[in-house]
Amino acid sequence: MIRAGIIGATGYAGGELVRLLLGHKETEIVWYGSRSYVDKKYASVYQNMFQIVDAACLDDNMEELAKQADVIFTATPQGFCASMINEEILSQAKVIDLSADFRIKDVKIYEEWYKIEHKAPQYLDEAVYGLCELNREKVKKARLVANPGCYPTCSTLSIYPLVKEGLIDPATIIIDAKSGTSGAGRGAKVDNLYCEVNENIKAYGVAGHRHTPEIEEQLGYAAGEPLVLNFTPHLVPMNRGILITAYASLKKEVTYEEVKAVYDKYYEKEQFVRVLDKDVCPQTKWVEGSNYVDVNFKIDPRTKRIIMMGAMDNLVKGAAGQAVQNMNLLFGLNEATGLQQVPMFP
């Protein structure tokens, strides 16, 4: 049994990690870390766990946790993992960081976009960006995995093949993203109150959202050179789900079949990326509660652009599910262990 510890277990991503790990036959949770709820029964914070989880919350002492666990998930605010990580911890436990601390290789870009000093730049090189579909082999050998952001996961998987194969002009990429409200976290803020979000839609972080450089870095690897793009997230009145609609100019005339073949080349063998049938648009509800990313595209011959779409559950493939997928890779398990939930509809 893999002994798993979670720091930040009472946030939405942390709660989803608990849900998934409870259904994972090779894992037991040994540490429910939550600075805000120390000593409180975990099931009194998330009553869905009543009679399922008996443990009380512990603190966020990562060093102590490293002694008791084989893997540590940090579902914590930016900066926490970087400020705690050290050689001793890494020698005792694998670390999967769900924050952004180790996603961006260039510390200057990190500090510029996140407005905080990076406390452990010495681990940036070693950390593996845990987008399993792209970095599977590297993850298997890692000590420290940077679990990708929700928007970057959906955006990168939807666009990557066309950049990599040179079908689209990387300088023309525009990503218009829509997310459910769980992405905003469980902090008590007026902006996230029911009455403020319900019956409403808005863009936020326009031309400045922190996930932008993360997407640019990943697509830049595909392009073979740096790129800049537009990324605009929107807040949608629903609990879960991310949809991205991306636009780019085609480099040459292509047929549906040619583009489909490119997607299939990358995803045909992937368990969690589904390239939908022709003309079927991804819907977030079709992946809810599951680790799937549904992708598809539409060629617009009038404008010579292609519209790429992707849908996933932000808390699963966009956070906790991908973290478990990474854990499976780290420990040599079948990548889909504990992740075979059928999406729930309606």
Contacts of its own copies in 186-215 (CB under 8 A): 186, 188-190, 192-204, 206-207
Spot the catalytic one: 57, 81, 132, 150.
150
Tokens of 200: 């409403």
Helix (H, G, I), strand (E, B) or coil at 101: coil
Quick one: 291 exposed, middle or buried, by C-beta within 10 A (0-12, 13-18, 19+)? buried
Identify the three-state secondary structure at position 86. Answer: coil
User: What residues between 224 and 283 interact with its own copies by CB under 8 A?
Assistant: 228-230, 232, 234, 236-241, 243, 245, 247, 274, 276-277, 280-283
Binders in 96-135 for its own copies, by CB under 8 A:
none
Closest approach, Cβ 203 to its own copies, in A, equals 5
From 75-83, 115-123, 289-297, 322-330, give the range in contact with its own copies by CB under 8 A: 289-297
Residues in the chain: 346
Shorter beta-carbon distance to its own copies: residue 128 or 324: 324
Nearer to its own copies, 225 or 277 (CB): 277
Rounded Cα–Cα distance for residues 137 and 141 (Å) = 7
CB of 263 closer than 8 Å to CB of 306: no
By CB under 8 A, what part of segment 15-54 binds its own copies? 15, 18-19, 22-23, 44, 46-52
Based on CB atoms, which residue is closest to its own copies, 1 or 280? 280
Cα 62 from Cα 81, distance rounded (Å): 9
* Residue 79: count of CB within 10 angstroms of its CB: 17
Q: Identify which of residues 115 and 141 has a Cβ nearer to its own copies in the complex.
A: 115
Stretch of residues binding its own copies (CB under 8 A), selected from 82-90, 177-185, 256-264, 331-339 = 177-185
Q: Which of 153, 284, 322, 326 binds its own copies (CB under 8 A)?
A: 284
* Non-local CB neighbours of 141 within 8 Å, separated by 6+ positions: 128
Q: How far is CA 228 from the centre of its chain?
A: 21
- What distance in Å separates the CA atoms of residue 10 and residue 183, rounded to the nearest whole number? 14
Q: Is 150 a catalytic residue?
A: yes
Q: Which of residues 305-344 bind its own copies (CB under 8 A)?
A: 305, 307, 309, 311, 340-344
Q: Which is nearer to its own copies, 135 or 218 (CB)?
A: 218
Q: Which residues does the annotation mark as catalytic?
A: 150
